[in-house]
Structure 1
Amino acid sequence: MSKGKTSNIFVWILMGLLMLGLAGFGATSLSGVNRTIGDVGGKEITINQYFRALQDELRALGAQTGQNVSFAQAQQFGLDRAVLGQLVVRRALDAETDRLGISIGDENLRRELLAIPAFQGLDGEFDRDAYGFAMEQAGMSESEFEDSMREDTARSILQGAIISGVTMPTSYADTLIAYVAEQRDFTWTRLSADNLTRPIPAPDDAQVQAYYDANTDQFMVPATRQITFAWLSPDMIIDQVEVDETALRERYEERDSEFNRPERRLVERVVLGDMAAAQAAKDQIDAGETTFEALVESRGLTLSDVDMGDVTQADLGQSGEVVFAAASGEIAGPVASDLGPALFRVNAILPAQSTSFEDALPVLRDELAADRARRVIETQISDIDDLLAAGATLEELADETDMQIGTLDWHPGATDPIAGYEAFRALAASVTDSDFPQIETLRDGGIFAVRLEGDTEAHPAPLEDVRADVVAAWTNAETSAALDALVARLMPRLQEGTDFTSFGFNAIEETGQDRSAFVPGTPANFMVQVFEMQPGEIRTISDAGGLTLVRLNAINAPQNDSPQIAALVTGVTQQAGQSISQDIFDAYAQALQQSFDINISQQALDAVHVQIQ
Structure 2
Amino acid sequence: MLSGIRTFSQSIFAKILFGIIAISFVAWGLKASMLSLGNSREVAEVGSQSISPVELDRAFKRNIDKMRRVFGPSFDQQQAIQMGLLNNTVQGLVSQKLLEENAKDIGIGISDDKVRDNIFNNQSFKNDTTGQFDRQKFLQILYQNGYSEPEFIEGMRSDLMSQQVVGSLGAASTPPSPLVKTIAAYRNEDRNGRFVTLGDDDIDPIATPADDVLKKFHDEHSSQFTAPETRNATLALLTVDSLAKTMDVTDAEVLDAYNQRIGEFQTPEKRAVEQMLFAPNDKESATEAYKALESGKDFMAVATEEAGMKESVVKLGEFTKDNMLPDLRDTVFSLSEDGYSQPVETALGWHIMRVTSITPAHEQSLDEVREQVENGVKRQKAEDQIFDIAAQLDDELGAGTSLKDAADKVHAELFTLTDIKKGQDLGHDIRDSQEINAKIYELNEGDESFLEETQNGDRYVVSVTKVTPSAVQPFEDVRDQVITAWKAEEKQRLLSEKADALAARINDGSAKIEAIATELDNSIDETGDTKRDGRGLSADASPAIAGALFELEKGKAKSVVGANGVAVVVLDDVKGSAADLGKDDPIVSELQDSLDQDIVSQYLDYLRDDISVSLNNGVINGLYAQNTAN
Q: Sort the TM-score into its range (normalised by shorter chain).
A: 0.5 to 0.7
Specify which of 501, 522, 525 is matched with residue 505 of structure 1: 522
In structure 1, the partner of 2:227 is 221
Specify which of 463, 472, 492 is matched with residue 460 of structure 1: 472
Check conservation: 1:159, 1:585, Cα contact below 8 A.
Answer: yes
In structure 1, the partner of 2:409 is 400
1:222-241 Cα offsets, whole Å, 9 max, x none, are: 24455443345567667667
Q: How many angstroms does 1:88 deviate by?
A: 8.0
- How does 1:260-339 map onto structure 2 within 5 Å? none
**3-state SS of 2:528 partner:** strand
TM-score, length-normalised on structure 2? 0.53
Q: How many angstroms does 1:437 deviate by?
A: 1.1
1:541 aligns with 2:560: yes
Mapped partners of 1:219, 1:71: distance in 2: 36
Paired letter, 1:383: Q
Paired letter, 2:478: V
Paired letter, 1:426: A
Mapped partners of 2:619, 2:488: distance in 1: 70
**3-state SS of 1:186 partner:** strand
Q: How many angstroms does 1:505 deviate by?
A: 1.5
Seen in structure 2, the aligned counterparts of structure 1 residues 494 and 433 have a Cα distance that, compared at 3 Å, is same
Seen in structure 2, the aligned counterparts of structure 1 residues 357 and 482 have a Cα distance that, compared at 3 Å, is farther
Q: How many angstroms does 1:546 deviate by?
A: 5.5
Mapped partners of 1:551, 1:474: distance in 2: 30
Mapped partners of 1:88, 1:224: distance in 2: 48
Specify which of 484, 506, 520 is matched with residue 472 of structure 1: 484
- How does 1:251-262 map onto structure 2 within 5 Å? none
1:230 aligns with 2:236: yes
- How does 1:191-590 map onto structure 2 within 5 Å? 191-196=198-203, 198-232=204-238, 375=383, 380-401=389-410, 402-412=412-422, 414-417=424-427, 421-432=433-444, 436-442=448-454, 446-453=458-465, 455-488=467-500, 490-491=502-503, 493-495=505-507, 496-499=511-514, 500-514=517-531, 515-517=533-535, 525-542=544-561, 547-558=566-577, 570-590=585-605
Q: How many angstroms does 1:540 deviate by?
A: 2.4
Mapped partners of 2:176, 2:483: distance in 1: 58
Q: How many angstroms does 1:511 deviate by?
A: 1.0
Q: How many angstroms does 1:170 deviate by?
A: 4.3
- How does 1:74-85 map onto structure 2 within 5 Å? 82=89
Check conservation: 1:476, 1:545, Cα contact below 8 A.
Answer: no
- How does 1:123-138 map onto structure 2 within 5 Å? none
Paired letter, 2:609: Q
Check conservation: 1:262, 1:312, Cα contact below 8 A.
Answer: yes
Q: Which runs of 5+ in 1 are unaligned?
A: 1-24, 27-33, 119-137, 140-149, 265-273, 276-307, 318-336, 341-355
Mapped partners of 2:497, 2:64: distance in 1: 62
1:456-485 Cα offsets, whole Å, 9 max, x none, are: 543211112211111112222332333344
Paired letter, 2:512: G
Mapped partners of 1:373, 1:174: distance in 2: 71
Q: Which runs of 5+ in 2 are unaligned?
A: 1-37, 118-148, 151-156, 275-280, 283-312, 326-345, 350-362, 625-630
Mapped partners of 1:61, 1:574: distance in 2: 26
Paired letter, 1:581: D
Paired letter, 2:525: I
Paired letter, 1:414: Q
Seen in structure 2, the aligned counterparts of structure 1 residues 553 and 465 have a Cα distance that, compared at 3 Å, is farther
Check conservation: 2:230, 2:468, Cα contact below 8 A.
Answer: yes
* Mean Cα deviation higher: 596-605 or 581-590: 596-605
Paired letter, 1:582: Q
Mapped partners of 2:431, 2:409: distance in 1: 24
Mapped partners of 2:179, 2:211: distance in 1: 60
**3-state SS of 1:549 partner:** strand
- How does 1:56-135 map onto structure 2 within 5 Å? 57=59, 82=89, 86=93, 90=97, 94=101, 102-103=106-107
Mapped partners of 2:258, 2:413: distance in 1: 28
Mapped partners of 1:117, 1:96: distance in 2: 20
Q: How many angstroms does 1:116 deviate by?
A: 9.0
Paired letter, 1:384: L
In structure 2, the partner of 1:345 is none
Paired letter, 2:207: P
Paired letter, 1:553: D
1:15-57 Cα offsets, whole Å, 9 max, x none, are: xxxxxxxxxx99xxxxxxx9999866xx5446xx747845864
Mapped partners of 1:163, 1:193: distance in 2: 59
In structure 2, the partner of 1:188 is 195
In structure 1, the partner of 2:173 is 166
**3-state SS of 2:235 partner:** strand
**3-state SS of 1:430 partner:** coil
Check conservation: 1:476, 1:544, Cα contact below 8 A.
Answer: no
Paired letter, 1:511: G
* Mean Cα deviation higher: 185-194 or 390-399: 390-399
Check conservation: 1:185, 1:510, Cα contact below 8 A.
Answer: yes
Mapped partners of 2:552, 2:265: distance in 1: 60
Seen in structure 2, the aligned counterparts of structure 1 residues 316 and 581 have a Cα distance that, compared at 3 Å, is farther
Question: Matched residues, percent identical?
Answer: 20
Q: How many angstroms does 1:212 deviate by?
A: 1.9
In structure 2, the partner of 1:303 is none
Mapped partners of 2:482, 2:181: distance in 1: 50
**3-state SS of 2:224 partner:** helix
Q: How many residues align?
A: 456
1:165-198 Cα offsets, whole Å, 9 max, x none, are: 23323455545555554444232333232233x4
In structure 2, the partner of 1:346 is none
1:409-445 Cα offsets, whole Å, 9 max, x none, are: 4434635425973312432343346965123344555
Check conservation: 1:37, 1:45, Cα contact below 8 A.
Answer: no
**3-state SS of 2:573 partner:** strand
In structure 2, the partner of 1:353 is none
Seen in structure 2, the aligned counterparts of structure 1 residues 593 and 521 have a Cα distance that, compared at 3 Å, is same
**3-state SS of 2:209 partner:** coil
* Larger helix proportion of the pair: 1
